Amino acid sequence: MTLEQAISVLEKAGIENARFEAQLLLGITVKASRAQIIAETYPPLTPEQTHRFIQLVLERRNRVPLAYLRGSQEFYGLTFAVGEEVLIPRPETELLVDFAREKLADPVTPPLIADVGTGSGCIVISVLKHLPIATAVATDISANALTLARRNAQANEVAHRVDWVRTNLLDGITSKFDMILSNPPYIPAAEVAKLQPEVKDNEPLLALDGGEDGFAIVRPLIESAFRSLKRGGYFALEIARGQAPDAIILLERAGFQGVDARRDLAGIERVVFGRKP
Ligand SMILES: C[S@@+](CC[C@H](N)C(=O)[O-])C[C@H]1O[C@@H](n2cnc3c(N)ncnc32)[C@H](O)[C@@H]1O
């Protein structure tokens, strides 16, 4: 299959930016940058590489996300291995890392942070990379996600500062935290089926499905976070478009103070946060 044939296959499947994606897939195949592909400065494909390229193009035609085909995704300037066991890190989730860096910029004592539903580990690993004296507990209900997160922590040289726990939310964890961060599943169940095929057919349902109203995990998480924080500790939570007003009410009812929301680059209220008095 030539590059032009690959572009045509992807175009017919309705993939936007078919040329760009086909170039990336060829780059994955021959381990070359997109610039090298454009400049045609890569060696001719071996039969094995041709086979692999066809496979990648067909998988992409079937809407497997590019990040899964590449096996990695960039987040907060770091590289994370990703596979079908974890959500692909999204740029808007970087807001949680910014929040942690801002609030814990000058800690008096080494801060202890929790990341609930760590997935690929992108949040906790990025935070620890920027807060060299912090340590963390990262939880997930998925054992496979935790295995991958641990691998990502090793690759990013922070593994010795994270305790990985397979549990529901923060169940069974007795430590008290200076900050709890979470990007939980928050999509209302009926909305999941309407997501793009890349997401609904490929990313783990466990990472997406927030129950009937999207708050099935968020509600107990807010209660659990309040109990597990030290006095003065912060909680920040990613939410979906339109969920901020309800999430703010839930945080205030749980006892949090200074509750507010932050917008992402698209102007959507994406993170709500509060402080335990
Ligand atoms: C939206 S993904 C977020 C993954 C990652 N933190 C990120 O931001 O890319 C939610 C994660 O929560 C995990 N999860 C779902 N229900 C959970 C629960 N009850 N307790 C702990 N983790 C849960 C899922 O397995 C998934 O890894």
Domains and CATH numbers, the chain: 3-62 (no CATH), 84-275 (3.40.50.150)
Share of the chain above pLDDT 90, in %: 97
Distance 252 CA to ligand 1 centre (A): 23
Model pTM? Answer: 0.96
Task: Identify which of 72, 73, 75, 87 to mutate to test ligand 1's pocket (most ligand atoms within 8 A of the CB).
Answer: 87
Max Cα separation, the chain? 64
Distance 206 CA to ligand 1 centre (A): 7
Cβ-in-10-Å burial (0-12, 13-18, 19+) of 143 comes to exposed
pLDDT digits 0-9 by tens, 191-234: 999 999 999 999 999 999 999 999 999 999 999 999 999 999 99
In whole angstroms, what is the distance from residue 265 CA to residue 190 CA? Answer: 26
pLDDT digits 0-9 by tens, 28-84: 999 999 999 999 998 899 999 999 999 999 999 999 999 999 999 999 999 999 999
In whole angstroms, what is the distance from residue 181 CA to residue 202 CA? Answer: 25
- Which ligand 1 atom minimizes the distance to the CA of 86? 27
How many degrees, rounded to 5, is the angle at CA 249 between CA 247 and CA 251? 70
Q: What is the mean pLDDT of residues 155-160?
A: 98
b/e string for 28-62 if b means 16 or more Cβ within 10 A?
bbbebeeeebeeeebeebeeebeebbbebbebbbe
121 lines ligand 1 (CB under 6 A): no
Share of the chain above pLDDT 70, in %: 100
Nearest residue (by CA) to ligand 1, atom 5, is 119
Q: What is the mean pLDDT of residues 90-117?
A: 96
pLDDT digits 0-9 by tens, 125-148: 999 999 999 999 999 999 999 999
User: What pLDDT score does 108 carry?
Assistant: 86
CB-based contact 185:206 (threshold 8 Å):
yes
> What mean pLDDT is reported for the chain?
97
User: What pLDDT score does 265 carry?
Assistant: 94
User: What pLDDT score does 123 carry?
Assistant: 98
In whole angstroms, what is the distance from residue 171 CA to residue 66 CA? Answer: 35
- In the Cβ-directed half-sphere of 254, how many Cα atoms lie within 13 Å? 26
Q: How confident is the model at residue 183 (pLDDT cuts 50, 70, 90)?
A: very high
